[in-house]
Amino acid sequence: MTRTHKPLALLGTPAGKSPPGHTATSLPTLAESAAYITGLGKSTAAEVLQACRDSGRVAIQPRCGVGGHLEMMNLLTTLEADAHPDILTLTIDSHTRLKRFEEALRTLNRHPADLNGYPLVAHGWQRGRELNESVTAPLEIRHGSPDARRLFDVSVASGITSFEGGGISYNLPYSKAVPLAESLGAWQDVDRRCGELADHGVIVDRELFGTLTAVLVPPSISLAISVIEAVLAARAGVRCISIAYPQGGHLAQDVAALRCIPALAERYLPTGTQVHAVLHEFMGVFPRQRGNAEDLIFYGALVARLGGASKLITKTYQEAYGIPDTRANVEGLRLADRANSPLLGFLTAEETRIATEMELILSEVGDLVDTLLERTNLIEAAVDAFDQGTLDIPFSASRYARSDIIPRRDAEGAIRYLSTGSLPFSTANRNRNDKLLKARPDVEAGLGSLLAGLTGDINYFRTVFQESDETAVTSDGPATK
């Protein structure tokens, strides 16, 4: 028999008791939430990240989120029991991300399985605490909201110590009509709350979504936008910042991008800010055959290790077919964690090539952000830059980004700029991109060739594995039609 809960009111009374003086719908004060977090007796996300970096291993974290409360609790406890991730995730549903809290509540009460994540605001902070207390690993909120203030407040009341997103990275890739000034202002409020929590002795890890649109994102675009969000966060009082980068698929370029993160932190952020590099395993078109997908998962974990990442967000062999089941998530976590083996300490990368890539990335990031950071009002500067195209992201859903830049892979698979649009790159940096792309004979300017080329670049790893569209997957592994 399936257990069910009676219908909830928004932020209504879940299982458990409210602290004295609280109604079912009120939130604890920041001081009360900080005291709860301190009294939990478990490490915060910031403490876990620092411990992993100090020990030389990469923290492992899955993506996971379902609508029902019991189902979410079972998912978290199963992942912890079977795979022992360092940090666990609450992926939030789309209604909550867009502040459609009543719709999230109606769907939760009607059919929770219709939600594509956990509606934390609808469930309420007491249920959030139930989830938190059911596992020993700290929790992170992953979502995609341009205005996450209410979600953040409920998360903190739940005792959650890591919160992903930013005013650019959680707007332009996802939303069509949210002005940048609004989203950047909303995220400044979140970051100020993190500063207040730090004053109460609780450090919240603020992870920035440098992944952006996740497909063919040039490293310097990813890192430049993270620098802007990181500077804004640090100025608002954030003490721990994780800068996430999406695996592009070229070993030297990806390792270089990860190694650029501490260099950029030293260049642009206040001394004493805790900064961590995070790698998202490849978020483009995934191989369909199980063995190929698992090879890519392990490869991504090795990139994270070689790049000095503090954390890896994992993938599963079911990635090409939709939302993975619990068993696939467990196996993806276990596989990725094997890259932490001390037996792999002999692994090295081509250091000269990595140094060359780092030089190019750091130079391009400087071209993109140095002038902006000189302005007194950084939010206004960022809004103006996107309006003028001097900041841009590829394939954006938003009317507030031009999406004039066109990325392509070079002959070795590294992501370069076929068109830089209005980005303020130096002549030397433009010429280097042109030269690297000209070494690939099939890069042409014609529209038909461009569309075909972009499609091929997006399908990069399926091409590497020489997969066709006739490959299917079963619960036991791949099968060919």
What is the rounded CA–CA span in Å between residue 411 and residue 431? 16
Averaged pLDDT of the chain:
92
Residue 67: inside a domain, yes or no? yes
Helix (H, G, I), strand (E, B) or coil at 322: coil
Q: Is the per-residue pLDDT at 3 higher than 50?
A: no
Q: Give the pairing of strands 471-474 and 477-480.
A: antiparallel
Predicted pLDDT at 79: 98
Q: Is the per-residue pLDDT at 154 higher than 50?
A: yes
Q: Which residues are 276's β-sheet partners?
A: 242
Predicted pLDDT at 23: 46
Task: Give the pLDDT mean for 346-357.
Answer: 95
Residue 252: inside a domain, yes or no? yes
Residue 184: inside a domain, yes or no? yes
Q: Is the per-residue pLDDT at 93 higher than 70?
A: yes
Task: Give the pLDDT mean for 213-234.
Answer: 97
Residue 361: inside a domain, yes or no? no
Residue 438: inside a domain, yes or no? no
Task: Give the pLDDT mean for 131-147.
Answer: 98
Residue 227: inside a domain, yes or no? yes
| Residues classed as catalytic | 97, 164
Question: Domain count of the chain?
Answer: 1
Residue 365: inside a domain, yes or no? no
Residue 444: inside a domain, yes or no? no
- pLDDT tens-place string over residues 276-307: 999 999 999 999 999 999 999 999 999 999 99
303 close to 336: Cβ distance less than 8 angstroms: no
Higher pLDDT: 6 or 275? It is: 275
What CATH number corresponds to the domain at position 269?
3.20.20.240
- pLDDT tens-place string over residues 381-438: 999 999 999 999 999 999 999 999 999 999 999 999 999 999 999 999 999 999 999 9
CA distances from 184 to 165, 374, 466 (A): 11, 18, 43
For tokens 């990469």, what's the residue? 58
Predicted pLDDT at 9: 65
For tokens 């996430």, what's the residue? 244
Least confident of 208-217, 424-433, 470-479: 470-479
Task: Give the CB-side neighbour count of residue 127, counting CA atoms within 13 A.
Answer: 25
Q: Is the per-residue pLDDT at 476 higher than 90?
A: no
Helix (H, G, I), strand (E, B) or coil at 159: coil
**Residue ranges making up the domain that contains 266:** 30-338
CA-based Rg of the chain, rounded to a whole angstrom?
22
pLDDT grade, residue 443 (50/70/90)? Answer: confident
Structure-derived torsion over alpha carbons of residues 318, 321, 325, 330, reported in degrees to the nearest 10: 20
- pLDDT tens-place string over residues 369-383: 999 999 999 999 999
Q: What does pTM read for this prediction?
A: 0.93
What are the backbone dihedrals phi and psi of residue 88, each rounded to the nearest 5 degrees, phi first?
A: -110, 165
What are the backbone dihedrals phi and psi of residue 121, each rounded to the nearest 5 degrees, phi first?
A: -60, -40
Task: Give the pLDDT mean for 223-230.
Answer: 98
